[in-house]
Amino acid sequence: MIELIPYKAEHAIEVIANKARQPCLDVSDIIEKWAKTKEGPTSKTGVQDGKIIGCGGLEICWPGMAEGWIVLASEKYDFNPKAILRQLLEWIDEYKLIRVQVPLRADFPAGIRFAEFLGFKPDGWPEVPKGVLMENYHPDGTDAIMYAIIGD
């Protein structure tokens, strides 16, 4: 069973150092600074059988809008992600969010499937079923597709 605990920067660094599932993530000064900026009340670390399996959270950009982030361990874990979905829904309610967006790497289908499980849809959906491609979005030049949950 997955347990969600308060996030600390060293959790993300540990996942990345042990080969995160996302392509092209390596520990660097920039990543260490990025990991530190994610600490706060809207970030959690997932632990299963005493091992960190991932970290994620929301960054509140302005009232009503947040951007999500996640770093997943490379090992495959058999867990039920409903705990993560419950946490996401709690944050949406608590912070009265009407939009939560996540820029997903176009070359990371597992991340896209996970976001879709959580209820995210590609921007432009249903008129643009695969979403709008954001070219050269990531530091390594990889494209992204913005996914979002749009509320009331």
CATH number at residue 104: 3.40.630.30
- C-alpha–C-alpha distance, residues 28 and 25, integer Å: 9
Closest CA to 151 of 106, 103, 88: 88
Length of the chain: 152
Domain count, the chain: 1
Instruction: Give the model confidence (pLDDT) of 101-149 as tens digits.
Output: 999 999 988 889 989 999 999 998 888 888 889 999 988 899 999 999 9
- C-alpha–C-alpha distance, residues 5 and 27, integer Å: 22
Give pTM, 2 decimals: 0.88
| Band of residue 78 on the pLDDT scale cut at 50, 70, 90 | low
Cα end-to-end span (Å), the chain = 32
Closest CA to 93 of 21, 10, 152: 152
Range of the domain at 94: 3-150
The answer on pLDDT for 21 being more than 90 is no
